Amino acid sequence: MKDIENDIITINDKEYQIKDLTMEARKCVSQLSDIQNRTARANMELELLQVAGNHFSNKLEEEMKKEKDS
């Protein structure tokens, strides 16, 4: 876990210093942070896949037009 001496977390509109939390609460904070990071990465990958899907869909449409025009 990273250095958390001065980190603060807000839960239900109340601020807590992470260093004052129980070990179990710290683990939960760490897990939640990891989940948020992984979700952000997954969303970025989803966006890239959507762009790639759109590209190949457009390319297929172009190819089908070429075939129809032949």
In the chain, where the domains are located: 8-69
- In the chain, what percentage of residues exceed pLDDT 90? 84
Quote the pLDDT of residue 67.
83
- In the chain, what percentage of residues exceed pLDDT 70? 93
Q: What pLDDT, in 10s, does the model give residues 35-69?
A: 999 999 999 999 999 999 999 999 999 999 988 88
**DSSP 8-class letter at 13:** T
Q: Enter the tokens of residue 43.
A: 């969303």
For the range 1-5, what are the long-range contacts, defined as Cβ-Cβ under 8 Å and sequence gap of 24 or more? 1/26, 1/30
Angle at 68 between CA 62 and CA 70, to 5 degrees: 105
